[in-house]
Amino acid sequence: MTRREIRVETIFRLFQKDYDLDIEIPLDGEAGRLFLDVVPKIEDIDQVIEKSLENYSLNRLSYLDRAIIRFATYEMLFTDTPKQVVIDEALEITKEYSDIDDKQRRFNNKLLDIIKKQIGD
Protein backbone atom coordinates (compact mmCIF):
# COMPACT_ATOMS: atom_id res chain seq x y z
CA MET A 1 0.00 0.00 0.00
CA THR A 2 1.38 3.44 -0.92
CA ARG A 3 1.72 6.26 1.58
CA ARG A 4 -1.18 8.10 -0.12
CA GLU A 5 -3.40 5.01 0.06
CA ILE A 6 -2.63 4.76 3.79
CA ARG A 7 -3.50 8.44 4.22
CA VAL A 8 -6.80 8.00 2.34
CA GLU A 9 -7.70 4.89 4.37
CA THR A 10 -6.95 6.71 7.63
CA ILE A 11 -8.95 9.76 6.54
CA PHE A 12 -11.94 7.61 5.62
CA ARG A 13 -11.78 5.95 9.05
CA LEU A 14 -11.73 9.36 10.70
CA PHE A 15 -14.69 10.37 8.51
CA GLN A 16 -16.61 7.26 9.58
CA LYS A 17 -15.93 7.91 13.26
CA ASP A 18 -16.90 11.59 13.01
CA TYR A 19 -20.02 10.86 10.98
CA ASP A 20 -20.85 8.17 13.53
CA LEU A 21 -21.64 5.60 10.91
CA ASP A 22 -22.91 2.45 12.58
CA ILE A 23 -20.25 0.24 11.07
CA GLU A 24 -17.20 -1.41 12.49
CA ILE A 25 -14.06 0.55 11.64
CA PRO A 26 -11.24 -1.81 10.65
CA LEU A 27 -8.19 -1.35 12.84
CA ASP A 28 -5.75 -3.53 10.95
CA GLY A 29 -2.66 -2.44 9.05
CA GLU A 30 -0.85 0.89 8.98
CA ALA A 31 -4.07 2.90 8.49
CA GLY A 32 -5.58 1.23 11.55
CA ARG A 33 -2.48 2.00 13.61
CA LEU A 34 -2.57 5.65 12.49
CA PHE A 35 -6.30 5.90 13.21
CA LEU A 36 -5.72 4.59 16.74
CA ASP A 37 -2.92 7.13 17.20
CA VAL A 38 -5.00 10.07 15.92
CA VAL A 39 -8.24 9.46 17.85
CA PRO A 40 -6.94 10.22 21.36
CA LYS A 41 -5.30 13.39 20.02
CA ILE A 42 -8.39 14.78 18.23
CA GLU A 43 -9.18 17.30 20.96
CA ASP A 44 -5.65 18.77 20.75
CA ILE A 45 -5.75 18.66 16.95
CA ASP A 46 -9.12 20.43 16.89
CA GLN A 47 -7.82 23.19 19.17
CA VAL A 48 -5.00 23.90 16.71
CA ILE A 49 -7.47 23.94 13.82
CA GLU A 50 -9.97 26.18 15.64
CA LYS A 51 -7.21 28.70 16.45
CA SER A 52 -6.36 28.82 12.75
CA LEU A 53 -9.88 29.35 11.41
CA GLU A 54 -10.91 32.92 10.69
CA ASN A 55 -14.62 33.68 11.06
CA TYR A 56 -15.37 29.99 10.69
CA SER A 57 -15.80 26.98 12.95
CA LEU A 58 -14.56 23.44 12.60
CA ASN A 59 -18.12 22.11 12.69
CA ARG A 60 -18.97 24.02 9.51
CA LEU A 61 -16.51 21.92 7.50
CA SER A 62 -17.91 18.89 5.77
CA TYR A 63 -17.18 15.60 7.51
CA LEU A 64 -14.71 14.62 4.80
CA ASP A 65 -12.86 17.94 4.79
CA ARG A 66 -12.74 17.90 8.57
CA ALA A 67 -11.14 14.43 8.42
CA ILE A 68 -8.61 15.60 5.81
CA ILE A 69 -7.66 18.69 7.85
CA ARG A 70 -7.50 16.69 11.08
CA PHE A 71 -5.18 14.10 9.61
CA ALA A 72 -2.95 16.70 7.97
CA THR A 73 -2.74 18.60 11.27
CA TYR A 74 -1.92 15.35 13.06
CA GLU A 75 0.89 14.69 10.59
CA MET A 76 2.29 18.19 11.01
CA LEU A 77 2.17 17.95 14.81
CA PHE A 78 3.17 14.35 15.49
CA THR A 79 5.23 13.01 12.57
CA ASP A 80 8.52 13.83 10.89
CA THR A 81 6.89 14.20 7.49
CA PRO A 82 7.83 17.60 6.05
CA LYS A 83 4.93 19.99 6.52
CA GLN A 84 4.82 21.00 2.86
CA VAL A 85 4.56 17.33 1.84
CA VAL A 86 1.66 16.93 4.30
CA ILE A 87 -0.10 19.97 2.83
CA ASP A 88 0.48 18.86 -0.77
CA GLU A 89 -0.89 15.39 -0.03
CA ALA A 90 -3.93 16.80 1.79
CA LEU A 91 -4.68 19.06 -1.17
CA GLU A 92 -4.38 16.21 -3.66
CA ILE A 93 -6.77 14.11 -1.56
CA THR A 94 -9.15 17.10 -1.32
CA LYS A 95 -8.99 17.53 -5.09
CA GLU A 96 -9.72 13.84 -5.68
CA TYR A 97 -12.47 13.28 -3.11
CA SER A 98 -13.96 16.60 -2.03
CA ASP A 99 -13.22 19.45 -4.39
CA ILE A 100 -16.10 21.49 -5.76
CA ASP A 101 -14.97 24.03 -8.37
CA ASP A 102 -11.57 24.22 -6.66
CA LYS A 103 -13.08 26.20 -3.75
CA GLN A 104 -12.51 23.55 -1.11
CA ARG A 105 -8.92 22.93 -2.17
CA ARG A 106 -8.19 26.67 -1.92
CA PHE A 107 -9.90 26.88 1.48
CA ASN A 108 -7.99 23.85 2.78
CA ASN A 109 -4.73 25.21 1.36
CA LYS A 110 -5.17 28.53 3.17
CA LEU A 111 -6.17 26.82 6.42
CA LEU A 112 -3.27 24.35 6.31
CA ASP A 113 -0.82 27.18 5.58
CA ILE A 114 -2.10 29.04 8.65
CA ILE A 115 -1.80 25.86 10.74
CA LYS A 116 1.75 25.33 9.45
CA LYS A 117 2.71 28.88 10.48
CA GLN A 118 1.03 28.45 13.87
CA ILE A 119 2.92 25.21 14.54
CA GLY A 120 6.20 26.54 13.16
CA ASP A 121 8.75 24.71 11.04
The parent domain of residue 50 ranges over: 3-119
Predicted confidence (pLDDT) at residue 5 exceeds the cutoff of 90? yes
pLDDT of residue 103: 87
pLDDT of residue 24: 86
For the stretch 59-85, pLDDT in tens is 999 999 999 999 999 999 999 999 999
CATH number at residue 83: 1.10.940.10
Cα gap 58→92, rounded to integer Å: 21
Contact in structure between 83 and 116 (CB atoms under 8 Å): yes
- Number of folded domains in the chain? 1
For the stretch 6-38, pLDDT in tens is 999 999 999 999 988 777 888 899 999 999 999
Kindly report the pTM of this predicted structure: 0.94
Distance of CA 113 to the CA centre of its chain: 13
